[in-house]
Amino acid sequence: MAPQKRPVEEVDSLLNDVRVVLCDIEGTTTPLSFVKEKLEPYITENLESYLDAHYDEEEMQADVKSLRELAVKDKEAKTEGVVEIPDTTDSNKADVIKALVKNISWQMGQDRKSTELKQFQGHIWREAYKRGKVQAELFEDVAPAMQHLMEEGIMVCTYSSGSVDAQKLLFGHTTDGDLQELISEFFDTTVGPKNESDSYKNIVQKLAQDGQEMLAEEVIFLTDIPAEAAAAVKAGMKCALVERIGNPELTDEDRMNYPVIETFDELFGDDDEEDMKRLATEGNGDAGDDDDEDDDDDLGEEEEEGDEDEAEGEADEA
């Protein structure tokens, strides 16, 4: 049986004193199935022809060089299954491409998050998006919530293992249109891996550099992965786990440790369907309230138990 959701009054405080909402992408803003069933297969299906068509370009040769250097490091570290990439000569294009296909397929099969691989993937996806072969999917609550946050003066940033270029492409080509202007900063693993707290400290520092002071506790990180949440919290950030359809199930312990939301709408402390419709049409939460649907923080104390049960029932069905 699913454990009970945290009380509304606790969720209500998620955006208190928050100036930045930092979003993970896969499993948080975007279904895992989009990555697994659309983006990754696109590479598998187009890898060889892409390498062949762009082989002589400067960008491609830079990618090849960094993938080759990674393979050398992998070899030195005795990484199992590593595929080496021969040095480029005037006459060995076919051999290099053959090795690249094997190396990239091997890395993807291992679900590696190497910056070298992500960089190359970003380049192949750029062509896919620009040619209209791929359109990014977002959960339907994401774009309206990002818009709403921007209107409230809260910055939205992303932090993903996908490269910054790949993130910009994704948000630039969504089924909801080009949403890049809703996102203030994109962060990738050049700030560090997602399960290390130093990475989140680096992000706070970078946010501070872009203008004014920034405290870690003024940032809330939204992710589907508890280990990432733990790293962010260790760095002083607030955090909520996002439970989406298609994600691996959270454990009871995860639910005890972190607030859990199912949609970004819940950031606004308001999972009542009617209120969400009102927010969507008015673009803010402070108009037209009557006495019994007050948004104040003390609502929970006054709320009768019956109402809470009803709210839980609705949330479970959603």
Give the binding site for Mg ion (CB under 5 A).
24, 26-27, 224
DSSP at 285: S
Residue whose CB is less far from Mg ion, 224 or 265: 224
Residue (50 or 159) nearer to Mg ion, CB: 159
Q: What is the rounded distance in angstroms from the CA atom of residue 318 to the CA atom of residue 314?
A: 6
Q: Taking the complex as a whole, how short is the minimal distance between the CB of residue 161 and Mg ion, in angstroms? A: 8
Give the integer Cα–Cα distance in Å for 206 and 156.
Answer: 14
**In whole angstroms, how close is the CB of 29 to Mg ion at the nearest point?**
9
- Give the three-class secondary structure for 10: helix
Residues 82-91: contacts with CB within 8 Å, 24+ apart?
Answer: 82/106, 88/61, 88/64
Query: Least distance from C-beta 26 to Mg ion, angstroms?
Result: 4
Closest distance between Mg ion and the C-beta of residue 196, in Å? 15
Sign of the dihedral defined by the CA atoms of residues 94, 97, 103, 105, in that order = negative
How long is the chain?
Answer: 318
In the bound state, the residue with its beta carbon closest to Mg ion is 27
Quick one: 28 or 119, whose CB is closer to Mg ion? Answer: 28
Whichever of 224 and 262 has its CB closer to Mg ion, that residue is 224
What is the three-state SS of 263-282? CHHHHHCCCCHHHHHHHHHH
Nearer to Mg ion, 103 or 160 (CB): 160
Minimum distance from residue 30 beta carbon to Mg ion (Å)? 9
CA–CA separation, 139 and 156 (whole Å): 16
